[in-house]
Amino acid sequence: MARSHDEYTVIVENPILMSCEVTGIPAPQVTWTTHGEDVADVKDDTFHVLANGALRIDHVTTNDTGMYECVATNVAGNATMAVTLNVQGDLYLLYVAIFTHLMLLAVTALFKVTGSKPQYGPYIFVTRCS
Amino acid at the residue 44: D
The total number of structural domains that make up the chain: 2
Cβ proximity of 32 and 39 under 8 Å: yes
Residue 117 and residue 61 in one domain: no
Residue 69 and residue 122 in one domain: no
pLDDT, tens digit, 9 for 90 and up, residues 18-61: 999 888 899 899 999 998 889 888 777 889 999 999 999 999 99
**Distance, CA of 31 to CA of 53 (rounded, Å):** 8
Residue 56 and residue 112 in one domain: no
Residue 29 and residue 48 in one domain: yes
Residue 109 and residue 81 in one domain: no
Residue 49 and residue 60 in one domain: yes
Parent domain of 28: 5-88
116 pLDDT higher than 60: no
